[in-house]
Amino acid sequence: MAGQDVLVWLGIVEQEIAIVLTDGQLTELAAGPEVALDAPDAETQILAFVDAHVPQKVQPVIAGSTIQRDRRVLRTALPAVDRRLHYRMVDVWTIGELVRRWYPDVVAGRPSRAAPARALEAVRESIEELRFYRQHVFSVPS
């Protein structure tokens, strides 16, 4: 079971939602089901996945690239999932905007992103992008 360090990566593409759990070092711990947002049991499936991997007393932090939009969708379509997650968020797009302004030479090497066809693909692209920033911007100088 994941501890307090877990990040819940969320991706919504079209009407599909996917979740991946990583630890704080961005190592993938588990990938949840890709679920249609309008599926009658979508909320139940997602909560069951999170509950199976994260202790009930822990409110995991949500992460992703379009996290503000995704959070709005959660609030309306899957409110119990929204309540299960912490109010804090790791927003990869915000980090990318800062890197673009402060480290423009680093941006050229950033992984390219296509418009993902599936939600799980979008989540994994976001994780890869944050790994890139961690390695090239947030690294400890030697």
Is 87 designated active site?
yes
Q: 19 near 50, Cβ under 8 Å?
A: yes
* Catalytic residue of the set 25, 57, 76, 87: 87
Alpha-carbon distance of 54 to 50, in angstroms, equals: 6
Catalogue the active-site residues. Answer: 87
